[in-house]
Amino acid sequence: MTRVKKGVNALKTRRNILKQVKGYRHGRGSKERQAYEAIAHAGTYSFAHRRDKKGDMRRLWNVRLNSALRENGMTYSKFIGAMKKKGQNLNRKMLSEIAHNSPASFKRILETVK
């Protein structure tokens, strides 16, 4: 078999790896083996945290909604139950946006539910 010198490819791979870890601290940003390890972990964390972010946002909407409701003398759980009984289908994201940005409109929604 003929000899293959992979100097160009190895350099290109190394350069791309080190470009990805730019800004990492200590050896993880400058040493090839540690950089590979750092990229592998960063990839798994980013995959998992993309899923977590969706739950975090839903919790934020619920907290915002609950605080706006308590200012108007109602709790989150009673409000959601009343919304379902009335058959109003506004999701939590939209309700929290309305409560956060236009409290007057939110009060009108609250009055229809009560």
CATH at 70: 1.10.1900.20
Task: State yes or no: pLDDT of 114 exceeds 90.
Answer: no
What total of structural domains would you count in the chain? 1
Helix, coil or strand: residue 86: helix
Does 101 reside within a domain? yes
Question: Vertex 73, ends 71 and 79: CA angle to 5°?
Answer: 105
Domain span including residue 72: 12-113
Does 5 reside within a domain? no
Does 16 reside within a domain? yes
pLDDT of residue 89: 84
Tell me which residue has tokens 């730019």.
22
Does 4 reside within a domain? no
pTM of the complete model beyond 0.75:
no
- Residue 112 Ramachandran class (φ > 0 left, ψ -120 to 50 alpha, else beta): alpha
pLDDT of residue 54: 95
Does 28 reside within a domain? yes
